[in-house]
Structure 1
């Protein structure tokens, strides 16, 4: 992997982590509201899981391949 590609991946990871954190905080606040639309809350939770998966995939791309 070239340095420019690794840098781009790290930048994208930072963006995704920030979005994940923001979404987590929003979900926590909204879950306390009994008037909250459950469908919207579930969509937010699914988006959060998708972000987590995307983060994991990008992190694994940064791990160097080891020749066995």
Structure 2
């Protein structure tokens, strides 16, 4: 069994091979999600969000009848 001290070393960049399979998967998923969070928002999406904000401010409808 891995004690908490070893786990904290891994979360700070230690070797994932010292972890059990579940902990290793969790560590890799966390790294993946962190990298996705750090990606910039595409300009096209920002443009769509701006249009939505403008429509809401002008009292426009959401397209539903």
TM-score, normalising length: structure 1 = 0.42
TM-score, normalising length: structure 2 = 0.44
Which of 1 and 2 has higher RCO (CA within 8 Å, sep 6+)? Answer: 1
**Larger Rg over CA atoms:** 2
Higher-helix-fraction structure: 1
